[in-house]
Amino acid sequence: MLTDILTIMPTPSQVVAAMPRSRFIGLMLLFLGPAVAIYTLFSIYPLLATISLSTYSTGPTGDHIFVGLANFITLLTDSVWSKPFWNAFFNNLLLFLVHMVVQNPIGIALAGLLSLPALRFRATYRTLIFLPTMLSVVIIGFAWNLILSPLWGVAEGFLKAIGLGAWFAPWLGLPSTALVTLSLISVWQFIGIPMMLIYASLLNIPEELVDAARVDGLGQLRIFFHIKLPLILPTIGMVSILTFVGNFNAFDLIYAVKGALAGPNFASDILGTYFYRTFFGYQLQVGSPTMGATVATVMFLIILVGVCVYLFLVQRRMLRYTF
């Protein structure tokens, strides 16, 4: 995607050459000024400030002392900080894996079904499947909390009706299942996005290619795996990196369902909630802006590494096919 930006720059316009330099600068300030100013001030600067803050510590008198990478070492090794950090990190990883394994394949499958030729009710299916994505995470989280709640019994009743009653447990309340359950709820909500992106990509494949495959003797399933799937790999790559960034930035669902403590017993704690607690503090600990900044910087680095791996290793290998 970033490399696409470089390709949309055209050759210089002749007007630029003819305009007096001062007028041109004024024009650019007018057009670019507001966007660049707001973006730099509220996106880039805070990020840089946070990274910088992570290299400081708060002294006894409340002022900042430069400590270099000490905070990072503390975060990663001092058990007071590192135990919850690594817990949050591995939970976050699990969240990401559940999305990759459940959300993306199902999204791809749904997109594949929706893009079949001459499908009736296609628009209706699309609209309804995308509906949960439109709703606030708070609503989704709480609604599922109620549905899965043993008090209400809806989920239990449903499972009993299909003979799987023995499976039921208060999943959201058990440390062993809470995170996976929340991950699945998140998948349920956001599956619409990879579905739509891949659907759009499938629409791009010319009909004649599918016809040629039919003449070659392939059934629809084989056509999907041998023809369509290879051609949408770039989109799948993009979906994967967006999932990665989204998951390692996640916060809302866990917070809405489990609160800042991400229980039970921190079983659903992810980097986002850990960051929130570190920065603002909670019952057992005072908030620490510098350590919060440290956690945020680490999150930034994790995401940066992921994005770089994607850009330089994955995207380069994937060829976009134009038709």
Partner 1 sequence: MTRSRITRLGVHAVLFAYVLLAILPILLVVMNSFKSHDAIFGAPLALPNADTFSLIGYQKVLAKSHAVTYFLNSMIVTLGSMFLVLLFGAMAAWALTEYKFRGSTLLALFLSIGIMVPIRLGSVAIVAMMRQSGLNDTLTALVLVYVAQGLPMAIFILSEFIEQIPKDLRDAARCDGVPETRIFFEVIAPLLRPAIATVAVFTMVPVWNDLWFPLLLTSSDSTHTITLGVQQFLGQYTTDWNSVLSALSLAILPVVVIYVIFSRQLISGLTAGAVK
Partner 2 sequence: MATLRIDKLNKSYGDAAILRDIDLSISEGEFVVLVGPSGCGKSTLLRMIAGLDGVTSGDIFIGERRVNNLEPSQRKIAMVFQSYALYPHMNVKKNMTFGLKFAGLAQPEMDRRVAEAARMLQLGPLLERRPRDLSGGQRQRVAIGRAIVREPDVFLFDEPLSNLDAALRVSTRVEIAKLHRLLGATMVYVTHDQIEAMTLADRIVVMNHGRVAQSGKPLDLYYDPANLFVAGFIGSPAMNFFKAKVDKKGAATVTLSGDGLPPFDLAAAAFAPPPGAPVTIGVRPEHLIADAPGQFRIGGAVELVERLGETSYAHVRVAEGVTLIAEMRGRDAPKAGDSIILGAPDRDLHLFDERGERIAIG
Which positions touch partner 2 (CB under 8 A)?
206, 208-209, 211-218, 222, 226-227, 230-231, 319, 321, 323
Q: What stretches of 162-264 show up as alpha helix (H) in DSSP? A: 178-190, 192-203, 207-215, 220-223, 229-231, 233-248, 252-258
CB of 224 to partner 2, least distance (A): 14
The only residue of 80, 97, 101, 116 in contact with partner 1, by rule CB under 8 A:
116
**How many Cβ atoms are within 10 Å of 115's Cβ, its own excluded?**
19
Would you say 221 or 284 has its CB closer to partner 1?
221
Contact call for residues 58 and 294 (beta carbons, < 8 A) = no
Question: In terms of CB distance, is 37 or 212 closer to partner 1?
Answer: 37
With CB under 5 to 8 Å by kind, the binding choice for 75 among partner 2, partner 1, none is none
Give which of partner 2, partner 1, none residue 165 binds (C-beta under 5 to 8 Å, depending on kind).
none
Provide, for the chain, the percentages of residues in helix, strand and coil under a 3-state DSSP scheme, each rounded to the nearest 5.
75, 5, 25
- Site for partner 1 contains 245 (CB under 8 A): yes
**Residue type (1 letter), 310:** Y
**Interaction with partner 1 in 160-179: which residues (CB under 8 A)?**
none
Count of residues in contact with partner 1, rule CB under 8 A: 97
DSSP structural state of residue 235 = H
Cα atoms in the Cβ-side hemisphere of radius 13 Å centred on 47 = 10
Residue appearing with tokens 């900042």 = 64
Q: Which stretch in 55-63, 67-75, 205-213, 245-253 sits in contact with partner 1 by CB under 8 A?
A: 245-253
Q: Does 72 bind partner 1 (CB under 8 A)?
A: no
Q: Which does 73 bind (CB under 5 to 8 A by kind): partner 1, partner 2, none?
A: none
Site residues for partner 1, window 130-149 (CB under 8 A)? Answer: 130-139, 142-144, 146-147
How far apart are CB 114 and partner 1 at their closest, in Å? Answer: 7
Which one of the spans 30-38, 72-80, 170-178, 261-269 is the region binding partner 1 (CB under 8 A)? 30-38
Find the binder of partner 1 among 85, 199, 224, 266 (CB under 8 A).
199
Return the H-helix or E-strand segment holding 57.
strand 56-58
Separation between Cα atoms, residue 112 and residue 106, nearest integer Å: 10
Binding span for partner 1 by CB under 8 A among 88-96, 97-105, 207-215, 255-263? 255-263
Give min distance, CB of 308 to partner 1, in A. 10
Distance CA 99, CA 92 (A): 11
Q: What is the full DSSP assignment across 129-188?
A: HHHHHHS-HHHHHHHHHHHH-TTT-HHHHHHHHTT-GGG---GGGSTTTHHHHHHHHHHH
Residues between 268 and 297 with contacts to partner 1, criterion CB under 8 A: 272, 279, 289, 292-293, 296-297
Residue 261 contacts partner 1 per CB under 8 A: no
Give the phi and the psi of residue 56 in degrees, each rounded to 5: -115, 165
Report, in Å, the least distance between residue 208 CB and partner 2: 4
